[in-house]
Chains A and B, each alone.
Chain A
Amino acid sequence: MMLGFNLVDGFAAALTPENIALALLGCLLGTLIGVLPGIGPITGVAILFPITLSLGLEDASTLILLASVYYGSQYGGSTTSILLNVPGEASSVVTTLDGYQMARQGRAGQALAIAAIGSFIAGTGSVIGLMAFGPPLSEVTTQFQSPEKFLVVVLAFATVSSLAGSNIFKGLLAVVFGIMLSTVGIDLQTGVPRYTFGELKLQEGMDFVVIAIGLFAVSEVLTLLEDTVRGENVVFQQAERIWVTFREFLFSLGAIVRGSAIGFFIGLLPGTGASVAGFMSYGLEKRLSDRDATFGSGDIRGVAAPESANNAAAGGSLVPLLTLGIPGSGTTAVMLGILISMGIRPGSGNVFAETPELIWTLIASMYIGNLMLLLLNFPLVKVFVKILEIPPWFLMPMILVISYIGVYSVNNSSLDITIMTIFGLLGFGLRKLGVPLAPILMGLILGDDLEQNFRRSLVASQGDYATFLDGWLNLALIGLSIVVLFLPQLLSRARGSNVKDEFADAGAEV
């Protein structure tokens, strides 16, 4: 009861006209930052933080502004995934699969709307989750050590093996290629650079944004060019409606709720976070609900699930941050810096009890940012959908130019431009060969977690492989992975319908 009361206080502190205006400004600014290729939520918040300090705002106002920027830019990233097939950040890669198809069918408005609604519901759910379980859940966080994290990544791979597409062989090829890409850079366990060819820039590994824009956007333009040359005129169907109907909402509700739950719990694990949550919820949703095999060709639930999971993961990652002082993701690391500068040291005892004002103001701020984003979307979706009225032969090259400028301006590195172009050509070739592109990004994003946690486990156990079977949590994760792999078969047997068995085969080897 005590906690609930404090949240009300938090809202009282947060809800002043000035703060509401700041939330609006933050969301707008964040959305604009988010749609720029190369600049994600972390960079957005990190850049704006010193500026907000110099404005001399009160602590609560600063928190609201930054939380709004964070939500706005995360949403901005999803916007480009849906409209342009350009994932702005790791957590919105899977959104491209159904989101972009919806946009091509003239349903961009619904995709954007369900992303906003799903995010809002997930945000609400994670605030409730924080309130109800925040302090006790911190116990769970320390249970997840390297062997458990390794098994979580294995579970993620098992869940999303359905992403592999119709040809399992090509799908696996793509995943393995992605994992190979993730090995580029300085190896954490030994300090030795791998596959850097003497390039300093490559020591920090392959930049996700550069690869994503190359594989998706550049190859999209090349495909479009080819179609145009052949005389096929590609046009997006015009939007009929720009908001979802109640029926569509109800249809997606299950995906939203499941996505929120998965996201929140994955968010609790430091270092795993939003990208895994997005993949997992999509994979699971496809497993559970894709009876007519509509996922991947514009199913609204394929947008609702990962977008809800992203957002809930952001809420979940606040638990280890506030209770243990452990930042689980880049964004929470920046947030930790902000809290410390305000005199709060998460991890030093119970911050919920000791500095309740700011903690609950923070949570209230995140919620207000979330709500503001939903409200802002009524007018913004219209604007975004208008972008698609621009003919593709003009729009896509424009996007390409902006992408190149954006990527270059982030690191001032011409190598990024070269890599992006190479991956554009590669993506074009792989499309022709029918190799799915999303699994490459999945391998790139999760490969590092897979490898490093595996090796950490073995160093810590001094080479004893039994560490992966030690404890009920590990056994449960292994069991869950097996169940997930064979779920489609089980479901199809139960229903008596014939869902393709290949989903099961796909995961068996990952």
Chain B
Amino acid sequence: MKTLTRLLAVLFAVVLVASACGDDDDATTADEGTDTTEATAADDEVVEDQPADDGGDGEADEPMDDDAAAGFVPGSPECVAPADAGGGWDFTCRSIGQLFEDLGLTENVVVTNQPGGGGGVAFSDIAANRNDNSDLVIAASPATAIRFAQNQYEGLTADQFRWIGAIGADFGVVAVTDDSEFETFDQLMEAVEADPTSVVWGGGSPVGGQDHFKVLLLAQELGIDPAAVPWVAYDGGGEAQNALLGGEIAVFPGDVSETIGNEDLRILTVMAQERVPALPDVPTTVELGYTTIFPIWRGLLAPGEMSDEAYAFWVDALGQVEASDEWVAARDENGLSPLRLLGDDFQGFALDAVDDFRTLSEPFGIINE
């Protein structure tokens, strides 16, 4: 028995140390290690046909970009989720990364979680240290665009990155309780227009965050002062729903995926062009005669100095994922609606969105100087 105890103690210590090191490896060391070796191999191949490099500083990844001229294939593909495991960006990396591999488009995609600063830690690290990495993609959503608009990423701007594409979108909804005085979206809008302070809204983001922007956009369309609409910020959509059910707030501008199936809620409208499969009976804002829509797209972007060949590869690969049956299944399971915006189209769309978000943020003093 005593030996067994000793043995267990030793085993315990080994696992303890091993797992601590293991984490470290996953995040940085291992990836960089493989990068270097593979890049060197690629370097040898390309010397003959294209001796000059792009004028970069000779970082390990540079030669791989050249190789891509003859058909780029990422040597050690990696998807950075700029947040902890379990959230939306993590889902994007894990689901799309898995499909890249399953569809035979890339090798095994390593998912790296790099939380902090609402994504800012990851973006500033990539811009500073891996800006020419062509194997690397980053998960993004409107929250990314909003933070770019408010200068929350340490002086980085949206056009310093390459926007690859967005596939699949959740849509904003406007929800009230099923015994609410507001039977239709029009009734709600009339009440808000008549007296913006009369209806208290609340959601899972701070002022100027994703949920609050739905209110700002609607207020802008109504032509009322967006700052006059009372906004209560909760720690996530779950708490906001609880507040709605308890009557603390009257309206919750949430997302389709977090509200479908909840029988205590009445969803007045989906902030989209066309009806979404998950809520076939709910009219959209466009149907009701408004122009505001709010797609929460799931997308990828890339470091600013990714080569054109690599960018073309990732755009094409993401398009193939979007067209696959496997993606349709994953999308439906997570309550997302179809969306396909790739390459330059997406780049233009995203940069426009950033401009809009910036204009709307200005009155709130939340844009970093």
Using a CB–CB distance below 8 Å, which chain A residues touch chain B? 32-33, 35-36, 39, 42-43, 46-47, 50, 141-146, 186-192, 198, 200-201, 203-204, 270-271, 320, 324-328, 333-334, 336-337, 340-341, 345, 347-349, 379-380, 382-383, 386-387, 402, 405-406, 408-413, 452, 456, 459-460, 462
CA distance A379 to B116 in the complex (A): 39
How far, in Å, is B367 (CB) from chain A's closest CB? 10
Decide if A36 touches B245 in the complex (CB within 8 Å): no
- CB-based contact B116/A347 at 8 Å: no
Decide: A204 and B117 in contact? CB cutoff 8 A: yes
| Bound complex: CA A46 to CA B231 (Å) | 31
CA distance A189 to B234 in the complex (A): 8
Bound: A128/B86 CA distance, A: 30
A50 to B93, CA, bound (A): 12
Q: Are B16 and A32 in touch, CB under 8 angstroms?
A: yes
| 7 A-B pairs closest in CB distance | A200-B117, A348-B261, A191-B206, A409-B23, A200-B120, A142-B246, A46-B85
Cα A192 to Cα B368 with chains together (Å): 9
Most chain B Cβ neighbours within 10 Å, of A143, A334, A459: A459
Q: Do A383 and B8 have beta carbons less than 8 Å apart?
A: yes
How far does the alpha carbon of A460 sit from the alpha carbon of B230 in the complex, in Å?
7
Query: Is A186 in contact with B118, judged by CB distance below 8 angstroms?
Result: yes
Closest A residue to B244 by beta carbon equals A142
- Check A327–B238 contact: CB distance below 8 A: yes
1/0 contact string of B234-274 vs chain A (CB within 8 Å): 11101101110111110000000000111110000000000
A203 touches B118 (CB 8 A): yes
Are the C-beta atoms of B12 and A32 separated by less than 8 Å?
Answer: yes
Contact present for A142 and B242 (CB under 8 Å): yes
Contact of A347 (CB < 8 Å), options: B202, B261, B365? B261
With a cutoff of 8 Å between Cβ atoms, the chain A residues found around residue B3 in the complex are none
- Cβ contact within 8 Å between B238 and A270: yes
Q: Which of B28, B248, B365 contacts A460 (CB 8 A)?
A: B248
Bound-state CA distance A493–B116 (Å) is 52
Please measure, in the bound complex, the distance between the C-alpha atom of A192 and the C-alpha atom of B207, giving whole angstroms: 9
- Residue with the greatest number of chain A CB neighbours at <10 A, chosen from B8, B17, B116: B116
B242→A201 contact, CB < 8 A: no
- B20 pairs with A35, CB closer than 8 A: no
CB distance from B59 to the nearest CB of A (A): 20
B351 within 8 A of A: no
Residues of A within 8 A of B365 (CB): 192
Could you list 26 examples of A-B contacts with CB < 8 Å?
A43-B85, A46-B84, A141-B242, A144-B246, A146-B248, A186-B206, A191-B208, A191-B233, A203-B118, A270-B239, A320-B242, A324-B245, A325-B241, A326-B242, A328-B238, A334-B86, A340-B334, A348-B261, A348-B262, A402-B20, A409-B20, A410-B23, A411-B115, A412-B28, A459-B231, A459-B232
A190 to B306, CA, bound (A): 36
Q: Which B residues lie within 8 Å of A47 (CB)?
A: 85
The reply to whether A36 and B16 contact each other, CB–CB distance below 8 Å, is: yes
Bound CA–CA A269/B364 (angstroms): 32
Known: A347-B261, A383-B5, A459-B230. A341 touches B333 (CB 8 A): yes
Whether the pair B246, A190 counts as a contact (CB closer than 8 A) is no
Judge whether B197 and A462 touch: CB under 8 Å: yes
CB–CB B233/A189 < 8 A: yes
Bound Cα distance from A333 to B333, whole angstroms: 17
Complex contacts, B124 vs chain A, CB 8 Å: 200
Interface residues on chain B, size class: 35 or more
B residues near A382, Cβ cutoff 8 Å: 5
Q: Does B70 have its Cβ within 8 Å of any Cβ on chain A?
A: no
Q: Are B233 and A387 in contact (CB under 8 A)?
A: no
> For A459, what are the chain B residues with a Cβ–Cβ distance below 8 Å?
200, 230-232
- Please, how many angstroms separate the alpha-carbon atoms of A47 and B6 in the complex? 29
Whether the pair B207, A189 counts as a contact (CB closer than 8 A) is yes
Q: Verify B27–A146 contact, CB threshold 8 A.
A: no
B21, CB-defined interface residue at 8 Å: yes
A349 to B16, CA, bound (A): 44
The B18-48 residues at the A interface (CB cut-off 8 A) are 19-21, 23-24, 27-28
Tell me the minimal C-beta distance from A158 to chain B in angstroms: 23
Is there contact, CB below 8 Å, between B230 and A200?
Answer: no
Taking CB atoms, residues of chain A closer than 8 Å to B230 are 459-460, 462
Give chain A's interface secondary structure class.
helix
Whether B242 lies near A203 (C-beta < 8 A) is: no
A410 CB to nearest chain B CB (Å): 7
The answer to whether A33 touches B19, judged by C-beta atoms less than 8 angstroms apart, is yes
Q: A141-B242, A203-B152, A411-B116 are in contact. List 4 more A-B contacts (CB 8 A).
A: A188-B235, A325-B238, A326-B242, A460-B230
B288 interface residue per 8 A CB criterion: no
Residue of B nearest to A404 (CB): B20
- Chain A residues with CB under 8 A of B242: 141-142, 145, 270, 320, 324, 326
Flag if B121 contacts A413 (CB, 8 Å): yes
- Smallest CB separation, A330 vs chain B (Å): 9
How far, in angstroms, from A337 to B365 measured CA to CA in the complex?
35
Residues of A within 8 A of B118 (CB): 186, 203-204
B319 within 8 Å of A by Cβ? no
CA distance A416 to B262 in the complex (A): 40
Residues on A with beta carbons closer than 8 Å to the beta carbon of B52: none
Q: A201-B116, A203-B118, A456-B232 are in contact. Are A143 and B85 (CB under 8 A)?
A: no
> Which chain A residue shows the least CB distance to B207?
A191
A348 and B85 form a contact (CB under 8 A)? no
Residues of chain B contacted by A386 (CB below 8 angstroms): 5-6, 9
- Chain B residues within an 8 Å CB radius of A348: 260-263
B178 at the A/B interface (Cβ < 8 Å)? no
Are B5's CB and A271's CB within 8 A? Answer: no
Alpha-carbon distance between A202 and B16 when the two chains are bound, in angstroms: 28
Whether B114 sits at the interface, judged by CB under 8 Å, is yes
Say yes or no: is B222 at the interface (Cβ < 8 Å to chain A): no
Proximity bits, B317-357, A CB within 8 Å = 1, else 0 = 00000000000000001100000000000000000000000
Tell me the smallest distance from the CB of B121 to a CB of chain A, in Å: 5
Distance in angstroms between the alpha carbons of A33 and B124 in the assembled complex: 30
Inter-chain CA distance A145–B150, complex, in Å, is 31
**B116 & A204 in contact (Cβ 8 Å cutoff):** yes
Residues of B within 8 A of A145 (CB): 242-243, 246-248
Is the Cβ of B115 less than 8 Å from the Cβ of A326? no
The complex places the Cα of A188 from the Cα of B262 at a distance, in Å, of: 26
Q: Complex Cα distance A456/B366, Å?
A: 19
* Contact across chains for B116 and A413 when beta carbons are under 8 A apart: yes
Distance A326 CA – B240 CA, assembled complex (angstroms):
9
Asked if B94 CB lies within 8 Å of chain A CBs, one says: yes
Measured CB to CB, the closest approach of chain B to A317, in angstroms, equals 11
User: Could you say which of B15, B247, B261, B262 contacts A32, with CB atoms under 8 Å apart?
Assistant: B15
CA distance A82 to B347 in the complex (A): 54
Which residue of chain A has the shortest Cβ distance to B335 in the bound complex?
A: A340
CB closest chain-A residue, reference B91:
A337
Q: Does residue B304 face the partner (Cβ distance < 8 Å to A)?
A: no
Within 8 Å by CB of A412, from B114, B207, B231, lies B114
Q: Are B19 and A405 in contact (CB under 8 A)?
A: no
Nearest chain-B residue to A332 (Cβ)? Answer: B238
| CB of B154 closer than 8 Å to a CB of A | yes
Is the Cβ of A203 less than 8 Å from the Cβ of B245? Answer: no
Given contacts A50-B94, A142-B246, A203-B117, contact A326 B239 (CB under 8 A): yes
